[in-house]
Structures are given as C-alpha cells and as structure tokens.
Chain A
Amino acid sequence: MVKELWQEGISARPTLLVQHTLRSGQHINYDGNVVVLGDVNAGADIMAAGDILVMGALRGVVHAGATGDESATITALVLNPTQLRISSHITRPPDGNKSGEILMPETARIKDDVVTIENYQPSK
C-alpha cells in the first residue's frame, strides 16, 4: 500500500505519557517518545530513544535520541534545562543569565551537526 505524503510525518514509536511534574531525583528511561504534562524540575532526568515534549518548564537534564537517532527533538513550553542531549551531542545553556522564566515554547534539534534551539513552530 502506497503511503500518502501526509502519513510520512507520523512517528509510530511508543510514547510514554507522564501525567505530573517530575521532581528532583526522579528519572524516566524509555524506548520511545516521552511527553510530560507538567514540569521537569532540576535534578530530574529523562532518557528517551525518541522525542521529548514537556508541557511545562524543562529545568532538568533530558536526552532525546538516546539510542542514536539524530533527528530526535526536544520541545518545552519553557526551555531552561541544566543540560540538553540529542543522540551523542551534549549542550548546556550559556553561562550567566539566570533571569526569570518566560513562557516561550522552543524546540531543540540537530541542524548542520549542531544542536540549535528555535521558537516552536508547528510544522506545516
């Protein structure tokens, strides 16, 4: 059966839905995508084979594409992680600038072999 174009952007990876905030010391390890309906506090961490989506403030450490998928992305309503990892790339926020958190959804992905952060845009 021929796949239609609109069906190509659909990930059939299993997805874990975390229905509360993750507190410091709590960790998730999942072979798929992870969605959090809450914050990811500093000291909490998520390791996912697929994408990570945080419907809240991301303040902890997340690792998307942990099994090697360089196309994995990390999206959060407030992207303020201690550390961000996609596949084998590790980045951290710029030094200094500990100003307050602003509600501004952003996505981190690898572009030209570098982790870049952009304002979240629904893909058209």
Chain B
Amino acid sequence: MGKVIVVTSGKGGVGKTTTTANIGAGLAKIGNKVVMVDTDIGLRNLDVVLGLENRIVYDIVDVVRGNCRLRQALIKDKRLEEMYLLPAAQTKDKTAVTEDQMKELCENLKAEFDYVIIDCPAGIEHGFRNAIAGAEEAIVVTTPEVSAVRDADRIIGLLEAAEIRKPKLIINRIRSKMVRSGDMMSVEDILEILAVDLLGIVPDDDVIVISTNRGEPTVLDEESRAGQAFRNIVKRITGQEVPLMSLDEQPGSLWGRLKSLFRGNN
C-alpha cells in the first residue's frame, strides 16, 4: 500500500510542479514505484516539466469519466525504472473532476504504487479541494517572501481543517546572500510564523529554468545544487536523516574562502 502525498502552496509560482517532478523522479531513481498526478486541470504543466507532453493520449478527466482504463492514461517515463505520470486535461477546467472521484482515484493508485505524488494547483478553491481529497500527507512549498509565507499559512490552516495534520515545509528559491544581508526572510523567520516541520530547503538556481524547459528534472543531475537539495529531500521522505545543505555560494573553493576572509564574513 503506497503513500499519497499532496504538494501544495496556496501561492502560485513558488515551485509546486518543479518540486513534484523532482521528488517523483528522485524517489523513482532510488527504486520506488512512483506516480505523479497533475490536478491543475486547464493549466497543466507537470507533463512539460517532465518532458512527457508529446506522449499524452488520455488524461485524468478521461479516467474519472470512464473513457479509458487507468492503465491507458498512465505515461511510463522511459528514463527511469518505475516512474509514471497521470496528466491533467488542458481543455477542461477544475470542475470536471469531483472530490469523490479524486478519492477513488487515489485509492486505486495507492494499491499499485509506493508513492502517489499529487501536484496541486494554486489557490484554495475547487482545484485545491480536489487535490487534497485523497491525500494522507502534505508538503507545503513556499519561497522566502512575505506574500508566499502568508499564503502558506492560510493553506496550512486549511490542511489542518481537512484533517491532514503535520504538513511538512519546503522553502524554495533561497538566496543566501540576500538572507545574510537581511533583505530576504531566513529559515528561522519562516518557521517562526508557520510552525511546521521543515522537510528541506532549495537554493535559487538558474539550472532550474533550463531543466524545466528541457523537461529533465534536475534531481537526476549530479552536478546541480538544486538537484542535491531535492536528493536530500527525497532521502528525508524515505525516513533518512540528512543535515540541511549549506547554501553559501561556492562553499569549498579556496578562492571563495579567501574572499570571505578579506570581507570579514567569518
């Protein structure tokens, strides 16, 4: 029996889809059978970010309406052993699926997969309620900005009201230089307000733009720092304890250390 985890945020554009793709790929890479479900009906993106858009024949709306069998709609990724995508529909909207249909879908998927990761749309209306309907656990994604944290707080309140207790937090797009100069909220500032357990932090990394455009999740790239952050998050999801990675730019280089010595940043 698998685990159904919803990735949500409230605020749009903070990295839910990117996180879903990288967590899904990361879990599959270490041998789990994973399915990712895109519930952003009408504005689907998970297929693009995974590079699977050309292979969509059926989608989630076809499945709940019985136009096809679940098997037929699942797209198996060719790069990894057991990674599947259930895409959203692009030509419908979020009212095309009900919460009960989502619950049933999640029950069916749970029986076959180790992890069912649900990509939630932005907002708190129908799309959000659909996405959380079948979920047991939640990951809340936020960026270190007042507006994103405000929305994350709202979402956590709604998750708790829906009995999805103890959501875990991912803080995305951290720029450590700005945090040090006091221009950006720190991890501590955010946890002080949101008061939930931290699952991980991801640095702001240009490589994300490239990887999402190309449809190649960065978690699979050994050189990528954001990728390393997601690999750490994947390990924590499976129960391992991994220390938070240092976000300082160029942590180990001799030149970097000489520079900070002169700047007096120790």
Contact = CB atoms under 8 A, between A and B. Distances in A.
Nearest to A38: B195
Contacts of A21: 195
B150 A24 contact: yes
Kindly state the interface size class of chain B when it binds its partner: 10 to 19
Contacts of B111: none
A41 B193 contact: yes
Interface of B: 150-151, 153-154, 156-158, 160, 192-193, 195
Nearest to A59: B193
A42 B156 contact: no
A25 B195 contact: no
Contacts of A91: none
A101 B150 CA distance: 17
A25 B157 CA distance: 8
Contact of A43 (B154, B158, B160, B195): B154
Nearest to A42: B150
A43 B156 contact: no
Contacts of B160: 23
A101 B192 CA distance: 10
Contacts of B157: 23-26
A25 B160 CA distance: 13
A23 B154 contact: yes
Secondary structure class of chain B's binding surface, majority of residues: helix
25 contacts: A21-B195, A23-B154, A23-B156, A23-B157, A23-B160, A24-B150, A24-B151, A24-B153, A24-B154, A24-B157, A25-B153, A25-B154, A25-B157, A25-B158, A26-B157, A39-B193, A41-B193, A42-B150, A42-B153, A42-B193, A43-B150, A43-B153, A43-B154, A59-B193, A101-B192
Contacts of B156: 23
Contacts of A24: 150-151, 153-154, 157
A25 B158 CA distance: 9
Interface string A16-37: 0000010111100000000000
B266 to A, nearest CB: 23
Contacts of A39: 193, 195
A42 B156 CA distance: 13
Contacts of B151: 24
Contacts of B195: 21, 39
B63 to A, nearest CB: 32
Contacts of A23: 153-154, 156-157, 160
Closest 3 A/B residue pairs (Cβ): A23-B157, A24-B153, A24-B154
A107 B11 CA distance: 34
Interface string A53-97: 000000100000000000000000000000000000000000000
A41 B193 CA distance: 7
Contacts of A26: 157
B36 to A, nearest CB: 28
A49 B23 CA distance: 49
A26 B156 CA distance: 11
A19 to B, nearest CB: 14
| From A21, A41, A43, residue with most partner B Cβ within 10 Å | A41
